[in-house]
Amino acid sequence: MLATAESCTGGWIAQELTALAGSSAWFEAGFVTYSNAAKRQMLGVAAELLTPGGPGAVSEETVRAMTHGALANSQAAVAVAVSGVAGPGGGSPDKPVGTVWIAWQWEQKSEARCFHFAGDRRAVRQATVEAALEGLLRLLN
């Protein structure tokens, strides 16, 4: 079973997965945690990760905590999480628009990667969905 924990994609990954006939056999839950409060409340992401001075919502630590929370709050054995700066605003010198962290967790293993996608808001979000799904396919094959 698979669960998603999404921020910048707003449920797009879950939508793509559930568009597949038969997905109810392997898709368990989708968490759309766009705000930091939702990340804390729904996934148990530690407040110190999200407060000033911490790594922030767009970080390896946060997406790893999101996959952990998705697994802890579902019956899934595999989780993917995304958090990023889709734009057009919200970027910073350290995390410019297009910066996205993606994490995958399964069988006590996890992987996280930082991506820098180009384009407008839609392009960044679409590239995030594609990278998240490609990562799932890679780890499941």
Q: Residue 116 maps to which CATH number? A: 3.90.950.20
Quote the distance between the C-alpha of residue 46 and its chain's center. 16
Mean pLDDT of the chain: 97
Measured between alpha carbons, how far is residue 53 from residues 20, 48, 78 in Å?
41, 8, 30
Total structural domains within the chain: 1
pTM tops 0.85: yes
133: tokens are 């799904």
Distance CA 81, CA 71 (A): 11
**pLDDT by 10s per residue, the chain, length 141:** 999 999 999 999 999 999 999 999 999 999 999 999 999 999 999 999 999 999 999 999 999 999 999 999 999 999 999 999 999 999 999 999 999 999 999 988 999 999 999 999 999 999 999 999 999 999 888
Instruction: Tell me which residue range forms the domain holding 68.
Output: 2-140
> 75-108 burial, b if ≥16 CB within 10 A, otherwise e?
ebebbbbbbbbbbeeeeeeebebbbbbbbbbbee
Annotate 52-64 with DSSP letters as a single string: TTS--SSSHHHHH
CB contact at 8 A, 106 and 77: yes
pLDDT of residue 108: 84
Neighbour count for residue 39 (Cβ, 10 Å): 26
